[in-house]
Chain A
Amino acid sequence: EPEVTQTPSHQVTQMGQEVILRCVPISNHLYFYWYRQILGQKVEFLVSFYNNEISEKSEIFDDQFSVERPDGSNFTLKIRSTKLEDSAMYFCASALTKGAGEQYFGPGTRLTVT
């Protein structure tokens, strides 16, 4: 069964450093998402991406964040200058269609900012 994959599984970085979180969505999917989950809290939407552009972004997704689909398979989230409060699990998700509820989530990358 096809699945969303994410690398690395755990990333430790120092405050102020740049990080890139990588995702490989399901191959025939067209809609891509990043969510995050701070420990013990609910999953929060960050950004959605379709047709090589951002469809929607949340207030969390400020100028320090960017997304890119550099080729036909990868989808990345970059944080330019990490802050302590960026520590969280980051989940990538993809969907085949827009209307249906089903988004497939990856296993997540745990980002720890020290």
Chain B
Amino acid sequence: DTAVSQTPKYLVTQMGNDKSIKCEQNLGHDTMYWYKQDSKKFLKIMFSYNNKELIINETVPNRFSPKSPDKAHLNLHINSLELGDSAVYFCASSVQSSEAFFGQGTRLTVV
């Protein structure tokens, strides 16, 4: 069984569209993350969420919003997509800030 799974793996969409990326973990972890990896391979934290708090990187545009229906899921919703949003988005989970397990990534291309 896949520990952290995210869908879709590839997403090609037009500017201005709204899209969601789903993430699920079956590890029983209490903390989930979304990271953006650009062409330079930098891993930028976007959100961190556990059952107590949502931490938002203040540099993330408010077009991005995390949605957590339960502890095992943290979905990423993006409004009004822009060309600069093209990147690989990784979901991850951990127990507090210990070892993080990553999903396979979603390659988003905005055209």
A associates with B: no
Q: Which B residues form the contact surface with A (CB < 8 A)?
A: none
